[in-house]
Amino acid sequence: MDIIKSNNPDVLNCLANLSNDQVFTPTNIAKKMLDELPKKIWSDPDLKILDPVCKTGIFLREAAERLNEGLKNKIKNDQKRINHILKNQIFGIATTEIASLIARRSIYYSKDSNGKYSACKIFKDAKGNILYSSIKHEWKNGKCLYCGAAQTNRHEDFNNEQYASEFIHTENVQELFPNMKFDVIIGNPPYQISDGGHSRSASTIYHLFVENAKKLNPRYLSMIIPSRWFIGGKGLDKFRKEMLNDKRVKKIVDYESSSDVFSGPEIAGGVSYFLWEKNYAGKCEFTSVRKSVETQNFRDLNEFDVLIRDTKALNIIKKIQKLKINNDKRLSEVVSPRKAFNLSTNYTPKNSGLPCWYIQKIGKKFANKTDVTDSNKLLNKWKFLVPKAPIAGQTDFSKPVGFYYDGNTIIAKPGECCTESWIVAGAFDTEKEARNFKSYLFTKVARFLLLQSVISQDVTRKNFVFVPNLENYNKQITDDYLIKKFEISKNDWAYIDSRITKIKNG
């Protein structure tokens, strides 16, 4: 007797498109993640598996199928084997009440684990091992202390779903399953939650699930999460540092386009799943998937402060850095921080004052001189301004990317400032130097190096970490010049050329 056996289309694949609040996991991805675990564990009757972010129950359902097959020689009676698996080996914490019902239905064949049609015949209550509690956010200064959610009417209305996951809204995650030791923790956590910031600002929360899962000290941990943690992401600096230095991260499978995994809206920067193994301490097997083509290599994740996902680009960057261009100085040391002149994006234009560049549809207006600060000594320089969000709307970075072109950059004169909509990419004593610097950032080589640390529509100074700062900008810079200077091979140039779009209007 199989727990699930049908020739009909999998209903859980159909559910993958139903919600914007929860990203459901397709069956094929759940299977791939489970395939990364050692086959021998499926014949262990003492194995315990937890999905702490259970939505459709797909991970637990597929794990139960594997255990059902692997334990046939140890527990020969079909019903006893199924009872044992579902009662003693499969556990979940649902993210919402409706998710708990869906998960129970897919795992037990019944929304009540002790129902008439339940696959398990020994549960005494309706919940079984799929837990759900209506947890409330704990507010302080308008935000949740645990997840950073904004205190809005939506969260204050007790009739509405709180979206407060029990797994991260606790001081001690071990208390959720007292005296329980899990061998495998696997799942697809919620990715973000509204934090009440500017526009549609949201706080990243998936890292909180990974961190709490590690606290349970399983033998194996696997989760599928956005790949933005490789490079950026709100509140992810500490998480990124810990992940890159954790030798127990045995494997990462990275999809540059989330459409290769999930249907629906594109997740900026793609998604990836990882396998963390408690007793492993070595190089990480990194698999990059672009347009269904896989490339693999073994590497130390902490070679740089960010994780370069593109293996070919990684090799190109290493070659260039060996040359120690201009004593290995980078443009990240030159580009201005956000709010170069302490003027926010929504700063109101004035009728007189210092000439100031606003968002493109406003153009050049004025700012009060008293509102402008010049701690970086940029005001009286010739400045090359580039937009903070040059690739707004692009989320699939497996496609060729373009950053800067004539229509979205500005040569600002001495005495001119700008709002936070712009960053000062370079500041010079002469207009000629500014224009030559512009020619540098317009090259495919420079934009390719920039791409390797970009994983969202925003570009800030830290994203220029792999772009060398040349010794001077006394002449125009071309790709032909950089190919020679950076000793770029024909094969490497062909790859660079394929990944970056041509300059518009240039």
Question: How do residues 349-378 score in pLDDT, each as one tens digit?
Answer: 999 999 999 988 899 999 999 999 999 999
- Token digits of residue 449: 């190096």
Domain residue spans in the chain? 225-309, 322-499
- Sign, CA dihedral 475-481-485-486, equals positive
State pTM to two decimals: 0.87
Least confident of 62-66, 126-130, 340-344, 453-457: 453-457
Res 400: pLDDT: 79
Structure tokens at 481: 């010049």
Q: Give the pair of three-digit tokens for residue 303.
A: 């070679």
Mean pLDDT lowest among 185-194, 252-261, 307-316: 185-194
**For 190-341, where are the E strands, in sequence order?**
192-194, 202-204, 220-226, 249-255, 271-277, 284-290, 293-299
Stretch 264-293: mean pLDDT, rounded? Answer: 92
Residue 77's Cβ-side half-sphere holds a number of Cα atoms within 13 Å equal to 4
Is there a contact between 130 and 115 (Cβ–Cβ < 8 Å)?
no
412-458 pLDDT, tens digit per residue, is 999 999 999 999 999 999 999 999 999 999 999 999 999 999 888 88
Provide the pLDDT for residue 195: 53
Q: Is the pLDDT of residue 176 over 60?
A: yes
Across 298-302, 379-383, 414-418, 499-503, least confident range: 499-503
209 within 8 A of 254, measured Cβ to Cβ: no
pLDDT for 263 equals: 83
Separation in Å, CA 263 to CA 17, 186, 224, 257? 7, 21, 15, 11
pLDDT at 166 over 90: no
**pLDDT, average across residues 225-231:** 94
As a whole number of angstroms, the distance between CA 189 and CA 16 comes to: 14
- 2 pLDDT band, cuts 50/70/90, is low
Which backbone phi and psi does 133 adopt, to 5 degrees?
-130, 140
Quick one: average pLDDT of 64-91? 96
Q: What percent of the chain has pLDDT over 70?
A: 91
| pLDDT exceeds cutoff 50 at 190 | yes
Residue 159 confidence (pLDDT) above 80? no
Q: If 0-12 CB within 10 Å is exposed, 13-18 middle and 19+ buried, where does residue 131 land? A: middle
Q: What is the mean pLDDT of the chain?
A: 89
- Please state, in angstroms and as integers, the Cα–Cα distance from residue 104 to each residue in 286, 334, 397, following that order: 34, 56, 37
Q: Confidence class of residue 161 from pLDDT cuts 50, 70 and 90?
A: low
Q: Buried b / exposed e across 16-42, counting CB within 10 Å, b at 16+? A: beeeeebbbbbbebbeebbebbeeebb
Predicted confidence at residue 305, as pLDDT, reads 93
